[in-house]
Amino acid sequence: MLNTTSITLPHKLTTTQKAARGVIFQCLQKMEMGCLTIIESFHTETKERSERFTAPNGEYSGQPVVATIEVKHPGFYSRILQGGSIAAGEAYMDGWWDSPDLTALMKLMALNMRALDKLEEQGSWLTKLLYKFSHWTNRNSQENSRKNIHAHYDLGNDLYEAFLDTNMLYSSALYHT
- In tens, the pLDDT along 47-86 reads 567 788 787 776 666 778 899 999 999 999 999 988 888 9
- State the CATH number of the domain containing residue 91: 3.30.1050
Give CA angle at 126 (124, 131), nearest 5°.
Answer: 95
Residue 163 lies in a domain: no
Contact at 8 Å (CB) between 34 and 105?
Answer: no
Residue 175 lies in a domain: no
Please give the pLDDT value at position 79: 92
**Closest residue by Cα to residue 74 from 23, 9, 120, 26:** 9
Mention every residue, 6+ apart, whose C-beta is less than 8 A from residue 25: 51, 53
Please give the pLDDT value at position 126: 62
Instruction: Compute CA distances 162 → 56, 154, 166, 168, whole Å.
Output: 60, 15, 10, 10
Task: Give 35's pLDDT tier (boundaries 50, 70, 90).
Answer: very high
Number of domains within the chain:
1
Mention every residue, 6+ apart, whose C-beta is less than 8 A from residue 20: 77, 78, 80, 81
Q: Which residues constitute the domain of residue 121?
A: 15-127
Task: For residue range 113-139, list pLDDT tens digits in order.
Answer: 988 887 777 666 666 676 677 777 777
Please give the pLDDT value at position 4: 43
Please give the pLDDT value at position 57: 72
Residue 156 lies in a domain: no
Specify the higher pLDDT residue, 7 or 138: 138
Tell me the C-alpha distance between 28 and 9, whole Å. 26
